[in-house]
Each structure stands twice: as structure tokens, then as C-alpha cells.
Amino acid sequence: MSELLKLQDKHRQEIKELQENCKHEGETGWLQYFWAPGHWNGSYVKQCLKCGKTFEYKSSSGNEVSTFIFNDDEVSLKFSRKD
């Protein structure tokens, strides 16, 4: 394994441990979610201010808004209508 891949694996593991041990005491408001730099697809996320873990993901299509809520071991989904 190259040195670069070793560093990337180490960094991913450190972030995973930070997110697993974080108490998630603060969260952002709705942030635009960019799937690539400069490419916003109209969806939003809420993340922990300390560890960056995503709590909620919101996308909209037509008159319906879908929100995914991330808990420790499960993801729930709710729908609502736009006015």
C-alpha cells in the first residue's frame, strides 16, 4: 500500500472515531449540499459543529420534500408537502 493510501486510511479512521465518540452538542442550520465543487443539486444537510457528522438530509422534487434523519444506527425518512 502506498504511503498516500496509508495516510488516507488513517485519517478516515480518526474521523470515524471522532464521530462515534462525539456528543453532538451543536449543529449547523440547513447547509447547501454540493455533490462536487460548484455543483449544488438543490438539497440541504444539517451537520454536527464539532465532528461534521450529517444528521439530516433534505431534498425536494416537485411539491414534496423528503428529509432523512440520521440516528446512531438507523436512518428514518419523512415526507412533507411544500406550500
- What is the binding site for Zn ion (CB under 5 A)? 22, 24, 48, 50-51, 53
Q: Which of residues 45 and 48 has its CB atom nearest to Zn ion in the complex?
A: 48
Instruction: State the nearest-atom distance from the C-beta of 80 to Zn ion, in Å.
Output: 26
CB of 40 to Zn ion, least distance (A): 24
Strands 75-81 and 54-61, bridge-based pairing: unpaired
Kindly state the DSSP code that residue 49 receives in the 8-state scheme.
T
Q: Fill in the DSSP letter of residue 15.
A: H
Give whichever of 19 and 67 is closer to Zn ion, judged by the CB atom.
Answer: 19
Q: How far is the CB of 46 from Zn ion (least distance, A)?
A: 11
Judge contact between 58 and 47, C-beta under 8 A. no
Question: 53 vs 69, which CB is nearer to Zn ion?
Answer: 53
